Amino acid sequence: MKIAKPDLVVVHGLTQYYGRRAVLKDVNFSIKAGQVMGLIGANGAGKTTIMKAMLGLNRVRRGTVAIANERVTQLHHAVLAENVGALIEHPAIYPFLTGWQQLQLITKDVTQLQWIVETLQMAAYIHQNAKHYSLGMRQQLGIAMALVRQPKLVVLDEPMNGLDPQAVKRLRQTIRELAQTGMTFFISSHILSELEKVIDDVLVIDHGRVILQTPMQQLRASYHQRLLLQTTDNAHALVWL
């Protein structure tokens, strides 16, 4: 008998305005422990706003966010310290510290530090000052900072930006391996093809509204299409095809 996993994240009725413009409109969803959920939407759909609200970075007009059964707001976010790692928009990096020193600001556990450097293959540059990092190296460091303490929940906003194909493949593999240990992921992108190889479920947002939440497997099945081709000589065309 399969035991249902508990909800780690519950978002209910989330509504947010920028001035008079509603950017989130009654957003509701939940994420189970160990689940990898993708957040898909066009640029400006509200993806980053949702993630910031989850992390207590935005004051919302209405609605609630709970992580591990504790409510998260701008003034109440103690649950995030030990349970959540995040990369939102751009990595917050000190240019005159090395990558290793940046990671040490998050944890002093040498085992954790060595694990993340080895996992993301950052050894060649981890002891260089971050001001010399390329875009991809900075992005890798930001991801490492989110993962290094192996938190219960990892929130990643467009994590593939700036990564080369090998780094993207390595990140996908790392996410799947960590999810199998029970770690939960919430990953945004505006490109479904970036996420479909790694996510279990997909949440689709459009103009601030959730229009779909479904297992990725079901979504794949729904968008299979057939093409009917008719010719003046079908038998001859079939030979050539």
> Is residue 120 assigned to a domain?
yes
Q: What is the mean pLDDT of residues 99-117?
A: 96
Q: Is the pLDDT of residue 1 over 60?
A: no
> Is residue 146 assigned to a domain?
yes
Per-residue pLDDT, 128: 97
Q: What's the start-to-end Cα distance of the chain, in Å?
A: 48
Domain count, the chain: 1
Q: What is the CATH number of the domain that holds 52?
A: 3.40.50.300
Identify the domain containing residue 11 by its residue range. Answer: 7-227
φ, ψ for residue 83 (rounded to 5)?
A: -115, -10
Per-residue pLDDT, 2: 52
pLDDT in tens, 191-227: 778 788 899 999 999 999 999 998 888 877 776 667 7
Per-residue pLDDT, 132: 95
Give the predicted TM-score (pTM) of the model: 0.86
Hey, how many other C-beta atoms are within 10 angstroms of the C-beta on 3?
Answer: 5
> Is residue 232 assigned to a domain?
no
In angstroms and rounded to an integer, the radius of gyration of the C-alpha atoms of the chain is: 21
> Is residue 1 assigned to a domain?
no
> Is residue 214 assigned to a domain?
yes
Q: What is the mean pLDDT of residues 6-34?
A: 91
Per-residue pLDDT, 3: 59
Residues 6+ apart with CB under 8 A from 164: 136
Per-residue pLDDT, 95: 93
Type of residue found at 106: I
Of the pLDDT bands very low, low, confident and very high (cuts 50, 70, 90), residue 113 is very high
> Is residue 105 assigned to a domain?
yes
Q: What is the mean pLDDT of residues 125-142?
A: 96
